[in-house]
């Protein structure tokens, strides 16, 4: 039994949705394109899961955040796919791929063949067991809609209770904020000396930590979770930390990083940086196979090296670029991408562009709520961070970062602050 398509998108997340929209814009014909996804719903904006989805009042629910609303594009509901003759094969895991024979095998036993395959399998949340901690079904992760529904259910059953959030990255930070908004007592635990250690400087981190503390969130830094104490099978009561302390926990959320879903392609495609290596057209080591989003390691021109990015903007834009390369190979150039990511918690909102290497120069008034930092490497601006900016200010730091202007005097740059970007 088998079906054949010209184009198959493997994975039904953010990149898949944006790719589908671009395929229709580039003139794909009805019946030519198929999306296969393990998730039971059409592609949606994953970042909503740790933000609007967890709000106590008027929470975001599908269909409101199907792609591609996150970039102010059309909202692609299942009806849209039907109207465009795009086959959505949902709730179906692909269990093997033969790139030489251009065939996929699904867990339901169906063989689907393609002429061009677009891999958009994203990533999975790292589980505590992978760090040597015995797991428990009472622990929540947050990667997909099923996880988010599970978290909402636990959250509702322990109102005013205690939550321990493990991990000080953006999932941990956003979850902690949402739980606090739901009036749950939150303790955020992570091994680093401050939150968002991969991006924030100590000065930036201390602003957010103080803000969180003002909302009742507690921080336990420099330690990790080692085990659980259970009162009933599958019910968490307390967590034990490596530093010997114990925290009460009606709810545990773990956000300790992700691993790209590459396993179907190991031994078949070239891998790099933990992902599937692609060229500037998002094409893998096999001419008929492209990769986009969290799973793709692509050349970032601005840095002169291959990177794998785990952010929604990169998923959207790499998907669009790959489809243009597939449909109009002669017209499309190399992907020229300025890394960008953002987060929104409580009433705060920040954006970051470029790379956080070299020396950080802080600017702005940290007590006013509008402040930021530039990163200078080898005499050039390579990265910019801004909290509380206007649309124009965010656009200005993005533009300045993409131009990589020379910077000689760091003290003067700090004094100029946002004006440096606004007048470039």
Which residue ranges make up the site for ligand FAD (CB under 6 A)?
A: 11-16, 36-39, 46-47, 49-50, 93-94, 120-123, 142-143, 171, 261, 264, 293-295, 310-313, 315, 341-343
Q: Which residue is nearest to ligand FAD (CB)?
A: 13
Q: At its nearest, how many Å lie between ligand FAD and the CB of residue 406?
A: 29
Three-state SS for 51?
Answer: coil
Q: At its nearest, how many Å lie between ligand FAD and the CB of residue 212?
A: 17
Do 318 and 292 contact (CB within 8 A), yes or no? yes
The string of DSSP codes covering 245-277 is -EEE-SEEEE---EEE--GGGTTTS-EETTEEE
Nearer to ligand FAD, 15 or 116 (CB): 15
Question: From its phi and psi, is residue 132 left (phi > 0), alpha (psi between -120 and 50) or beta?
Answer: left
Nearer to ligand FAD, 36 or 398 (CB): 36
Q: At its nearest, how many Å lie between ligand FAD and the CB of residue 407?
A: 26
Q: How far apart are CA 152 and CA 164, in angstroms?
A: 15
Q: At its nearest, how many Å lie between ligand FAD and the CB of residue 1?
A: 18
What residue has token string 């205690």? Answer: 162
Nearer to ligand FAD, 19 or 381 (CB): 19
As given in the structure block, the two tokens for residue 379 are 């005499």
Q: How far apart are CA 272 and CA 274, in angstroms?
A: 5
Q: How far apart are CA 260 and CA 138, in angstroms?
A: 24
Q: At its nearest, how many Å lie between ligand FAD and the CB of residue 199?
A: 11
Nearer to ligand FAD, 167 or 417 (CB): 167
Nearer to ligand FAD, 22 or 294 (CB): 294
Q: How far apart are CA 257 and CA 126, in angstroms?
A: 6
Nearer to ligand FAD, 125 or 361 (CB): 125
Q: At its nearest, how many Å lie between ligand FAD and the CB of residue 160?
A: 24
As given in the structure block, the two tokens for residue 406 are 């020379």
């Amino acid at each position: 039994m088998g079906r054949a398509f010209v184009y198959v998108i493997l994975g039904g997340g953010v990149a898949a949705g944006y790719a589908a929209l671009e395929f229709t814009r580039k003139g794909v014909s009805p019946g030519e394109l198929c999306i296969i996804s393990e998730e039971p719903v059409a592609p949606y904006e994953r970042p909503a899961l740790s933000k609007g989805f967890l709000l106590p009042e008027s929470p975001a629910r599908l269909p409101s955040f199907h792609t591609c609303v996150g970039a102010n594009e059309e909202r692609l509901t299942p009806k849209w796919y039907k109207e465009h003759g795009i086959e959505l094969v949902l709730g179906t895991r692909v269990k093997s791929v033969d790139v030489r024979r251009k065939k996929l095998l699904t867990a339901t036993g169906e063989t689907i063949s393609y002429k061009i395959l677009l891999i958009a399998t994203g990533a999975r949340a790292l589980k505590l067991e992978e760090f040597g901690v015995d797991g428990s079904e009472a622990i929540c992760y947050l990667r997909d809609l099923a996880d988010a529904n599970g978290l909402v259910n636990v959250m509702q059953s322990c109102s005013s209770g205690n939550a321990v959030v493990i991990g000080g990255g953006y999932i941990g930070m956003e979850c902690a904020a949402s739980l606090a908004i739901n009036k749950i007592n939150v303790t955020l635990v992570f091994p680093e000396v401050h939150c968002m250690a991969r991006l924030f400087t100590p000065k930036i981190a201390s602003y957010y930590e103080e803000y969180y503390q003002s909302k009742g969130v507690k921080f336990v830094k420099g330690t990790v979770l080692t085990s659980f104490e259970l009162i009933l099978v599958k019910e968490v009561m307390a967590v034990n930390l490596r530093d010997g302390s114990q925290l009460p926990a009606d709810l545990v959320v773990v956000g300790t990083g992700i691993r790209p879903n590459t396993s179907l392609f190991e031994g078949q495609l070239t891998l790099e940086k933990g992902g599937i290596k692609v060229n500037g057209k998002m094409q893998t080591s096999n001419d008929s196979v492209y990769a986009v989003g969290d799973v793709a390691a692509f050349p970032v021109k601005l840095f002169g090296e291959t990177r794998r990015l785990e952010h929604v903007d990169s998923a959207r834009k790499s998907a669009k670029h790959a489809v243009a390369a597939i449909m109009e190979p002669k017209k499309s150039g190399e992907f020229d991408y300025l890394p960008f990511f953002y987060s929104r918690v409580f009433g705060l909102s920040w954006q970051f562009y470029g790379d956080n290497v070299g020396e950080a120069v802080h600017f702005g008034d940290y007590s006013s709520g509008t402040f930021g930092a530039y990163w200078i490497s080898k005499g050039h601006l390579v990265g910019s961070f801004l909290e509380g900016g206007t649309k124009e200010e965010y656009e200005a730091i993005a533009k300045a970062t993409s131009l990589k202007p020379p910077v000689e005097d760091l003290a003067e740059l700090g004094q100029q602050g946002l004006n440096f970007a606004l007048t470039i």
